[in-house]
Amino acid sequence: MNERRRAKRVGFRRRVWCEGDRFTVWLSTVDVSGDGLQVRTSIPPPPGTRLRVTFDEPAHGRIVAETEVVWTGPVTSRGGMGLRIVRFVEGGESWSSLVRDADES
């Protein structure tokens, strides 16, 4: 598989709330990067699906992002998907510091 990432992935384990037209569920993150995140799910929506991702991070506050599913497939035996951040609804200014802090820990 060709590598298409533009940003380094950093391990980051949190529960995030994901919602879309037919998808509303708590999911666990695997990692984050400057422009997206990877989450675990056994029933991912198809690529191109738009989802809103929300979570509260004590050191950075609430982050809400509109995302797009860019890939689905096995992350573990439970499966997963990659989400590209399309835009931040809230907390966008905190995202890069969150990724930086995760990289340093």
Residue 17 lies in a domain: yes
**Three-class SS string for the chain?**
CCCCCCCCCEECCCEEEEEECCEEEEEEEEEEECCEEEEECCCCCCCCCEEEEEEEECCCEEEEEEEEEEEEECCCCCCEEEEEEEEEEECHHHHHHHHHHHHHC
Domain ranges, residue 39:
10-104
Summary mean pLDDT of the chain: 88
Residue 78 lies in a domain: yes
Residue 22 lies in a domain: yes
Integer Rg of the chain from CA: 13
Residue 26 lies in a domain: yes
Is 0.85 surpassed by the pTM of this model?
yes
pLDDT digits (tens, 9 = 90+) for 56-72: 988 889 999 999 999 99
Residue 5 lies in a domain: no
In the chain, the number of structural domains is 1
pLDDT digits (tens, 9 = 90+) for 32-60: 998 999 999 988 999 999 999 999 988 88
Residue 64 lies in a domain: yes
The reported pLDDT for the residue numbered 6 is 67
The reported pLDDT for the residue numbered 51 is 97
